[in-house]
Structures are given as C-alpha cells and as structure tokens.
Amino acid sequence: MTATHHEQPLDSTAFVPAETTPYFNRELSWIEFNRRVLAEAFNPRAPLLERVKFLAIFAANLDEFFMIRVSGIKQQIAAGVQKRTPDGLTPSEQLAAIRSNLLPLHEEERGLLMEDLLPNLAQQGISILNYDQLNPAQCNFLVDYFDRHIFPVLTPLAADSSRPFPHISNLSLNLAVVIQDEAEGELFARVKVPEVLPRLVPLPTELADGTGEVPTGRRHYFVWIEQVIAAHVEALFPGIEVVEAYPFRVTRNADVEIAEDEAEDLLRTIEQGVRQRRFGEVVRINVDNTMPERICQLLMKNMGIEAHDLYAVRGPLGLSTLMDLTGLDRPDLKTPPHYPEIPPPLRGHVDIFAAIRQHDILLHHPYDSFAPIVDFIQMAANDPDVLAIKQTLYRVGSNSPIVRALMHAREQGKQVAVLVELKARFDEENNIIWAKALERAGVHVVYGLLGLKTHSKLALVVRKEHDGIRRYVHMGTGNYNAGTARLYTDVGLLTCRPDLGADVSDLFNFLTGYSRQRNYRKLMVAPVNLREHLAGLIERETQQQHQHGNGRLIFKMNSLVDPRMIDALYRASQAGVRVDLVVRGMCRLKPGVPGLSETISVRSIIGRFLEHSRIYYFYNNGQEEIYLGSADIMERNLDRRVEQIFPLEEESLLRYVRDSLLETYLRDNVCAWILQSDGSYTRLIPEPDAEMVNSQDPELMRFNQGHGEEL
C-alpha cells in the first residue's frame, strides 16, 4: 500500500450525522456525494474545462435532487407523515438539515465560479462577460441581435387583478419585471428566457477590446442571454417605465407517479405523466441575491412555497448550462481524449459466436469499446442461423444502433422480443419513441411488470447450430447505450454457458409471461431471491471468519442505503470479517465505529468517468466468488425492481476483476475519497515520493494488462 496523507479541500462541517443511530441520513449522504463532485471543480490539477464540466454536473445533480428527493419529502410533510427515517429524522427535520447543508455549498459554488473559474477562463481566451462589462461595439452588436433573434420569441405575461399569475415551467429561467404605471402604480410581469436560443450569446471576436496573448482562433466571448433581455426589456413594454428586472428559476416536482393497476394503457399513462412533469408542485426557487424582499414574497405567495424553499445566490442561475463550454474546440483545456479498444478475442473480422464458444469474454467499458455489443446484436440480426433475440432496454439514448439492429432482425424474419422500461426516470420520452418504433417494425414489445421497474441488463440470442440449439448471452452492469458507454465504467459478459443461458431464458419468461420462477441455477434475481441470496453470502463469509479467521468482502456499487443489508455487513465486521466497500454515491453505513464496524472501510471514486459497475467479491475460504450485475444495495433494487446478479466462472476473468480492478480501486490515491465515521469524506493525496495510482487510468484497467498481487 502506498503512503498517503489526507487533505480536506472543502468545508464539510455542515454535515450533521445522527450520533445515536447506526446509519447516516440518505439525503445528507447524497449531499456529501455532490460535495465531492464540486471538489473536482476546485481541483487545480484538472484541466480548466474539465473543472467547468464538474461545476455544471454539480448544478444538474442539485436540480434532480430537488425534483425527486426533496419533492418526495415535501409530499410527506403535506400528508402529515411524522415517521422517522432509520437515522432518526422526521421529514421536516430532513428538510431543515438539507437546507443547512446546501447553503454553504451554494456559497462555495459561487465563489468558485466568480473568483476562480471565470477569471481563469478569461485568461485563457474564454470570456463570459456581464452586460456592464461590454464595450460600445459589443453593445451595438447586441442591439441588432436582440431585435433579430430574441425579441420575436419573447412573450411578456402580466400578472394583475384581471390576469392570473402565469405558470412557471420546471427549470425555466425567467425575469421578474417590475413596471411603474402612472394609472395603476407598480405592476409585475414575467418574461421567460427562451430555451430555443443559446444561454451564452456569442460575441464577435473582432469587437473585443485588446488582443491578449491567446491567438484569435482560440478566443471566445459570450454574454448571458438573460442580461441581454434585461438590458432591452423596455422594448416589450412601450410607453411604460420598466423599473427593475431580476432573474429567477423554478424547480418543480418531476417524479412521475404511475398507478399501474388503474392504467389500462401504460404507454399512454407514461406519456401523460411526462407532459405533466412541468406542472408539478414547486419545490425550489432560485433568485438573484439582489432581488428585493417584496418581489421574493410575491413569487413565494403565488407559487405556494415557504421562505426555506427560496435560495438566493450571487451570479448567474442555472449553471448546468456551463456544460456548453465543453463543446469548444480547446483541447488544450480538456483531458486528453480516451479511445476505447477492442479486446484481443474480438479484434479483426471475427465470428463473434465462435469467439464466445471458445471462452467467456469480459468487457470493461469505457476502456473496452462498446462496439462488440452492437456487433453482437447486428450479427445476430443478419445471421440466418439465429432464430430469436430477446433484450431489455432501460436507457438506450437517441439514434440507438442497438434498437435499429433489433428492428432489422425482425425484418429478417427472426423472433424478437424487447422489454422497454417506460419508467426509466427522465428517459421516458425517448423510450416511448423507441417502443413505438419497435412495435411498428413488428417486434414484440412489453413494458415490464406491474409495480416493478425492470433494471436488468440482458440480451439473449437463440441460434441453431450443428449440435442443436445454443443460447448466447450478454449480461452487464450498464445500459445498452453507446453514448454513456464512453463515459461510464461498466462491466459486461458475453457467454454461452448452458446454465446461464437457461437462467436468462427463464428470466425473460418471467418478464414477458406468467412465470413464477423462484429458483435459478446461477443468477440472483430481484425481487425473487436476490436479497435472500446476497444476505446468505454475507452470512457465509461471517461463518468462514468464525471457522477460519479469513473472512473477506469487497463490494463496489453506486449506493449503499438498505438498513437490513447494512446490518448484515455490521455483523460480519463484528465477527472480524475485513470489508472494503467502494461506494460512489450515497452510503448510510458508518465505517470504523468501535464495536460496530471497526473492520469496514468505505471509499468513493470520483473522476473523469462515472463509476457505474457493481461488483461483489467473497473470499469464501479460498474458493473465491465474484458476482456482477445491475443492482445496488438499495431497497428499490432489492425489492421493487427486476435486477440480476451473475457469477464470473472463468478463472482468468475472476483473477482480472479481483487483482486488476478491485485491487486498483483499493490502492487509488488520485480519485479516492475515504468516508469517516462522522460522515465526512477526506481525499487521499499521495506523498511526494509515493506512486500515484489512478483507478481510471486505461492502462491499468484494460483486461490485457496483466494482474496485480494477491488481495
């Protein structure tokens, strides 16, 4: 293990754990995760536009947190729910704790933007100017730009005794305009900032003052569109004095609730729910901190929120749009691009089915290319010996080559069945489009099981061969999405093992028919037996510790929040089992607590790629077992979703995952944060003379890179 020291670059004092319970609060743990995302925007070692990207991700994450998690808490409060969470907080107490933790984070975010990122961007030739910083030539340009491009799409909406307060759509940016009329006195109007126009209005380079040291072709100048509108807003109210204009932004409840047992047509119900999302209850208003109290009160009154739902910040609102800057042609300010490789067994013009028959093939994205998965489905579509293809689709993205291959397979006369999960949050609209397209192509499309979200990642190809029918299977931890496969770390397996193929066939029968299959040969399936089997494997390791003193668990996942499974890990620790957890996001388990979790460590990996793979390792007294799959250790994954966890059975693949993947995660001192028993995280920083280990280094994580030492 390399020598390291700890550094805490961000203030974590706002985190207040419940000292009397064995669990951290879920919502506060999520805020700690987003604090780590923000820390990447502070990271001076990262390229400048990479830091901007993380600031945009931090802002987008907060939007989703309010739309889903905070909205749910507010619904509990409205319903009079007083039940405490396992960590001891009521809904009202959670809401108060969320605000007290977020207020200092907002200030850190704003300080980073205003005092660090914007000045450094300007120094590198990317200037985002306030309107009062513009020179006369730039102002003249914007007069014409406003008249030609912005003014025609603006719609001022008045709010007075004869006209109701206008609806403010979810995540929309608006101007609160105060007007002084001689007859009526002070009036209010809302102007929505058009989403169809760029948030950052580009300014001609030749109009800028000076030349600077950055070459002309690499200089960019922008101004915020809401400031352009505010500067010319009088044009919308001719003959009336405009006194003030202040930006504000609304966040609404966006969690679509589906009463499936009452929905005759799930597809139509989902479509209606997506349309209604923009009309959900308001859960947050962001305003400029210069907005007067009377305007804040007007907004709160008309949108039915309290003072604790209003967040006043300095600087521009809606910072997720800063992601647009990462599209600039400035490779000098970005992380060098990563080019995924085809693993050796699949290089060249290979018969993918013959390659799978030789041995199981493991793919580690994004270090390994996603192309073999697309090829697998495309070859199956064109192969005359393939009889049927079955697949689950959760988030496939736009212009999906996988979906097009499935439609082509149907055109070739093959049996094709696809489960499209319409309830994949924020991807419902895209999935509806693909579901309709698949149905038009003649594909058998099903939408999942009543009350359950299908999260499994499965593809099954049934092929006629000289010795009979053979089933080829792909199972993975990530979605069938070529776009996210370049950004997320995921693991997938191509195999034709008969027992796994039979299990996947049984699972598809469970998904599409009336099967009540309870036992599977190799798979652990939620909500059927995954909780029971996973808990049993943890208990087995606990017993191995009692008998042999060598208990060892390594789990990697996105989130660890299920209290019963956390209790099982606590019991293992109390028996002496060494437990290493790699948890990217929320973790309610308290590590390192005397008498409770002394042998448990928890680390989070935050870097250029989103850690998304789920890996479960059991030492099992030397008869090691590794399981991969789609499920995190959360109540929803274990009890309310269809998930699958599958074993790695080929020795070389097991050694690679154990020695190269898991060992590297545990040695990482570049992207790793360590969870403390008080709920805060400290970043691991290598000593000056220590080896730097980055678990997102492609050279370390590709399968053909050899193996590390015994864990």
- Which residue in the list 455, 466, 546, 707 is annotated as catalytic? 455
Q: What is the DSSP string of 238-287?
A: TTSEEEEEEEEEEEE-------GGG-S-HHHHHHHHHHHGGGSPEEEEEE
CA distances from 704 to 401, 452, 477 (A): 27, 39, 20
Radius of gyration from C-alpha coordinates of the chain: 27
User: How does DSSP classify residue 691?
Assistant: P
Cis bond upstream, residue 366 (ω within 30): yes
For residue 109 the two structure tokens come to 């975010």
Cα–Cα distance, 639 to 534 (Å, whole number): 13
Q: Helix axis angle, 401-411 relative to 428-440, nearest 10°?
A: 20
- Structure tokens that stand for 594 in this block: 């005397």
Rounded CA-CA distance 334/115 in Å is 20
Q: Taking a C-beta distance cutoff of 8 angstroms, is the pair 135, 207 a contact?
A: yes
408 carries an active-site annotation: no
Reading the block at residue 253, the tokens are: 């409840």
Looking only at the bridges linking them, the beta strands covering 524-526 and 641-647 are: antiparallel
Is residue 299 classed as helix, strand or coil in its secondary structure?
A: helix
For residue 376, the tally of other CB atoms under 10 A from its CB is 25
Distance between CA 234 and CA 237 in Å, rounded? 5
**CA nearest to 328, candidates 190, 447, 220:** 220
Cα(390)–Cα(457) distance, integer angstroms: 11
The one-letter amino acid at 163: R
DSSP for residue 235: G
Axis crossing angle, helix 71-78 with helix 91-112, rounded to the nearest 10: 150
Pairwise CA distance, residues 506 & 526, whole Å: 13
3-state secondary structure of 664: helix
Main-chain phi, psi angles of 463, to 5 degrees: -130, 140
Q: In what order do the strands lie in the sheet with 282-288?
A: 156-159, 185-192, 173-181, 241-252, 282-288, 310-313
- Cα separation, 666 vs 695, in Å, equals 9
Catalytic residues: 455
